[in-house]
Structure 1
């Protein structure tokens, strides 16, 4: 059997209306849009006292494990890595804020992953994901689109902090902002002309343009052998005994709650973009996808990194036509290769990947047309979900507000019987979530 035949049998390419070339381009694009985590995650966790170089390797290995698990278990084109937000919660809230050692915090994440594996096998997590009303699923998908576009605007310096208005306009015609605007125009033209790999070509063009105005750093070598002795400083260094202390229960529940709904939101949002949701709005193979996510979290803790979760940047690969686990295999291979090409990967500035995030966000906005605009009990919860994600910088907060407003509006307008009992229960849980936070 040829290599093409093996890949066809393993990933069902024809059944998913894709081919090897498309999947490879999608995998490269996904990697390029999330490669920043290789450097950002160690920078954040090093603030908590963890060695940068050790976390650098742990971040890559966690991404490889999680993404390969997703590819082989579910055959979905979703990539995983240490989650942004979750790593900040780990470093600044738990370790620095609460005085928990980073070893104990890793232990907490390990137990969180074990709990998620159990919930995925039962499968409680699948039931939670599939009970979400279609209006909220659409809101989640659209909100994630706005969220990742907002991240892109921030990464490029187009949107900056403003003490008077919270956010303001940055330097658009110089520095990173100019690189992003250039990339946005180039990528937009390529995408409009239906050029394969438009997002990837846009990232490469933006990186090249960045050399002109000094945003892209100069080459400082291409290959650098990883120092695995650095990895030993975080590998298997989790403190399970300290993590089992009764005082850690609150921290464990916080990690569980945020991770569960961040993952659920990302899976639903990207799945709707890829056309995976069935006629009932349910995600086939949800249990397998959630199990892969749990494996990534558990393995990441053992490797020495914060919670590994499904990435919204996976939408960039989906936008390039990625429809199977082969996209994830390609992304995983590139993550592993990054161990040896640290200097080369490091020259791609965040401003060069920002246009891809903005354009993917644009495409994900199209899901909003599926809402029933004549039913305000559907529109308002969806809007609250959408607007809260970028405004509070949290997928979980958007989902929470949606789950609180949806059942209440239905209940007090005589439509309470339309709502799944689990939605009522989760609405109550989210109210308590806000009370304790």
Structure 2
């Protein structure tokens, strides 16, 4: 079995070990496991029964991770995307008047389109159409976004009373736990201690329990009743497929998913120094989006938290497969998983943010026609709290700045089309 794993996933060729891959998968799981409760809560607001939404989220995560692991052999985890789930519930269902079954139909159609794109030359054309400065801008923007999420999870940053953001209460047990956890995580990481992220999570959870941040009495009951999922699986409706609202929903969702995932996959594979895996990773992503609608969830994305496993040494699909397998077990262990506090996850997200920020060196800010659109992506991703909107701003600005400077020929024809389509999504106000 070990020999088969080494051969199929080419562990020697990736300069990694089974132990390292499994540890990376465990780290990826702990950094993203929050998605089970959060995604289910948002789906429930669309009308999907809560227990069914939890199981649907888990099944979707399992399929996405296994697809990425076995098909693309990449350490990228595919789970329902934050922001995309909000679009599913609050835009497609609440604003556009689709039922949740019809919204799942939109997900399936978008998945079919993206899958077709991924298996044709179009995927490479789209990747090549994106300027290098924008690709690096996306990576930096994602790093800042992760940092912001980490600071928010740890209570160091919170919504301000008289401003958008403000410093959290540094005397509160939660923030004290976060600060101590950051010290531990940074020390272990800089000393290159094996399984440093995992040790940090365990140590941080222990500290949180000692300071009263974690309450073991709130762990609740055991596994979920699986029969609740019967009403959700395959409950896809195409009743309104010919209507304008459905078509606009498909267009908007497809645009966001296409370029958010292109940016995420490219950024993650740059971290692993394996850009040649883009095509298969994108294909796995497309199929996963398609199956999301069938399994009863908002669409999957190559989530930004994948960087945690990559930073922990994950280089092959084993990382994603381990994460997917742990999602299976999570059906029986949700009460235990829920006790891991945000203060234990925050340091990992912040450290990854620092690592991703290094891509800023690759952006030529001396040439503002390259630097300014990249800068827009960098600031708009965290400040708008939306990867898709941040990317859109940079993609629209790039050709406009080039045109203004008389450098129109430096912009590829596909990028003009992409910028125009992003502009349309803003006009339709369903991005």
**For the residues of structure 2 that align with 1:225 and 1:193, how far apart are their CA atoms?**
39
Give the counterpart of 1:358 among 350, 355, 364.
Answer: 350
**2:17 matched to which residue of 1?**
19
**For the residues of structure 2 that align with 1:60 and 1:246, how far apart are their CA atoms?**
32
**2:63 matched to which residue of 1?**
65
* Kept in 1: contact 2:269–2:278 (CA 8 A): no
**1:174 matched to which residue of 2?**
172
**1:280 matched to which residue of 2?**
none
Give the counterpart of 1:50 among 48, 56, 62.
Answer: 48
1:226-375 matches, within 5 Å, as: 226-277=224-275, 284-375=276-367
* Kept in 2: contact 1:148–1:312 (CA 8 A): yes
Aligned partner of residue 160 in structure 1, secondary structure: strand
RMSD of the alignment, in Å? 1.8
1:165-204 matches, within 5 Å, as: 165-204=163-202
1:23-72 residue CA offsets vs partner (Å, 9 max, x unmatched):
11111111100000011111111122211111111111101101111111
Deviation for aligned residue 1:223:
8.4
**1:431 matched to which residue of 2?**
423
**2:101 matched to which residue of 1?**
103
**2:145 matched to which residue of 1?**
147
The normalised TM-score by structure 1 is 0.94
1:369-400 residue CA offsets vs partner (Å, 9 max, x unmatched):
12224322222121111111001111122222
1:193-238 residue CA offsets vs partner (Å, 9 max, x unmatched):
1112222221221111111222222056798344210111211112
**1:376 matched to which residue of 2?**
368
* Kept in 2: contact 1:222–1:341 (CA 8 A): no
Aligned partner of residue 385 in structure 1, secondary structure: helix
* Kept in 2: contact 1:222–1:342 (CA 8 A): no
**2:160 matched to which residue of 1?**
162
- Which residues of structure 2 form unaligned runs of 5+? none
1:126-145 matches, within 5 Å, as: 126-145=124-143
Aligned partner of residue 115 in structure 1, secondary structure: helix
**2:3 matched to which residue of 1?**
5
* Kept in 2: contact 1:219–1:344 (CA 8 A): no
1:196-235 matches, within 5 Å, as: 196-218=194-216, 224-235=222-233
- The alignment of Structure 1 onto Structure 2 pairs a total of residues equal to 429
The normalised TM-score by structure 2 is 0.95
Deviation for aligned residue 1:244:
4.6
* Kept in 2: contact 1:180–1:351 (CA 8 A): yes
Say if 1:245 and 1:415 are closer, same or farther in 2 by CA, change over 3 A: closer
